[in-house]
């Protein structure tokens, strides 16, 4: 489903991705952890080409993402993304946020997209917020709308870039619950998170990144019980303690 081969990327002088090799099959849930500045976020953003790459190859759902003639909008319709800062459109209501892309990029009618929006808002547990603007929603509710917005395109893959890092403790759970449900339904997911509980329960594999490289890529149970790499072990002890 997703295949990185020796992917490199620079930001000016900074070598942020130093030879990423990673493959994900369908219905797999992979959690990416690592210290800040390790390239996690850049890596996940190359999957839908929000970031270009300098060399190597990246194939997503059969498409060679970074080739010139790839229809990037087509690719992105099939790859949902959820951001740390939600990025809901403030001038639209929750339902309109969800309806926009299905109507404009998939050509659904207003009625069809409205039905879809209502169904998805029910799925993420806030059916009563359809006609509310984002400013009137809590952080956890906003992030759940953002997940619903991404799901409305019926993507094959969902990317989560630290979806709970901007949330208060009591709201983290409501977002993770939605993500857990999604994982159990068989969605292919790449999730950057430090939520160890979520990783343990919902993911198949854990990828540990540091300094632009994948240091360890292990099945979830193995990773948490006996991480191979010293750096991963140190990082884990810090994350779990707090």
Partner 1 sequence: MIPGAIVFEFPKDFFGGLWVTVQISALGLAGALIIGTGIALLRVSPLRPLRWIGAAYVEFFRNTPLVVQLFFLFLGLPLIGFRFASDTFDNIFRAACVGMALYHGAYVAEIVRGGLLGVDKGQIEAARSLGLSYVQMLRFVQLPQTFRSIVPPLGNIAIALVKNTSLASTIGVADLLFGAEVVESRTFRAEEGFGAATVLYLFLTGPLGFAVNALERRMLIAR
Choice from 9, 40, 66, 77 touching partner 1 (CB under 8 A): 77
Least separation in angstroms between CB 135 and partner 1: 6
Q: How many CB atoms lie within 10 A of CB 91?
A: 9
Alpha-carbon distance 22 to 153, whole Å?
25
- Touching partner 1, residues 100-139 (CB under 8 A): 100-101, 104-106, 133, 135
Please give the size of the binding site for partner 1, defined by CB under 8 A. Answer: 29
Nearer to partner 1, 72 or 240 (CB): 72
Instruction: State yes or no: residue 74 binds partner 1 (CB under 8 A).
Output: yes
Closest alpha carbon to 236 in 194, 191, 193, 198: 194
Count CA atoms closer than 13 A to 115's CA, side-chain side: 4
Instruction: Tell me which stretch binds partner 1 (CB under 8 A): 17-25, 54-62, 96-104, 190-198.
Output: 96-104
CB 219, CB 204: distance < 8 Å: yes
Choice from 81, 130, 145, 176 touching partner 1 (CB under 8 A): 81
Nearer to partner 1, 86 or 223 (CB): 86
Nearer to partner 1, 100 or 196 (CB): 100
Residue 102 host element (H or E): helix 94-105
Residue 112 host element (H or E): helix 110-123
- Touching partner 1, residues 147-176 (CB under 8 A): 149-150, 153
Alpha-carbon distance 49 to 55, whole Å?
13
Alpha-carbon distance 198 to 177, whole Å?
9
Dihedrals phi, psi of 57, to nearest 5 degrees: -135, 150
Instruction: State yes or no: residue 80 binds partner 1 (CB under 8 A).
Output: yes
Nearer to partner 1, 6 or 154 (CB): 154
Binding interface with partner 1 (CB under 8 A): 48, 50, 73-81, 83, 85, 87-91, 100-101, 104-106, 133, 135, 146, 149-150, 153
């Amino acid at each position: 489903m997703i295949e990185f081969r020796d992917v490199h990327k620079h930001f000016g002088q900074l070598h942020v991705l130093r030879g990423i090799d990673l493959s994900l099959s369908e219905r797999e849930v992979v959690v990416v952890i690592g210290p800040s500045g390790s390239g996690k976020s850049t890596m996940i953003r190359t999957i839908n080409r929000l970031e270009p790459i300098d060399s190597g190859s990246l194939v997503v759902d059969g498409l060679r993402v970074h080739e010139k003639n790839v229809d990037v909008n087509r690719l992105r319709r099939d790859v949902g993304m959820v951001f740390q800062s939600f990025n809901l459109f403030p001038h639209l209501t929750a339902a309109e946020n969800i309806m926009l892309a299905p109507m404009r990029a998939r050509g659904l009618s207003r009625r069809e997209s409205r039905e879809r929006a209502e169904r998805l808002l029910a799925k993420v547990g806030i059916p009563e917020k359809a006609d509310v603007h984002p400013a009137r929603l809590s952080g956890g509710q906003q992030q759940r709308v953002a997940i619903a917005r991404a799901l409305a395109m019926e993507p094959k893959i969902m990317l989560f870039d630290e979806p709970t890092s901007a949330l208060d403790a009591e709201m983290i759970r409501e977002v993770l619950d939605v993500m857990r449900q999604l994982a159990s339904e068989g969605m292919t997911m790449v999730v950057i998170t430090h939520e160890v509980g979520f990783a343990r329960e919902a993911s198949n594999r854990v990828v540990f990144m540091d300094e632009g490289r994948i240091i360890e890529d292990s099945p979830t149970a193995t990773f948490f019980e006996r991480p191979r790499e010293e750096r991963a072990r140190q990082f884990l002890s810090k994350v779990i303690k707090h």
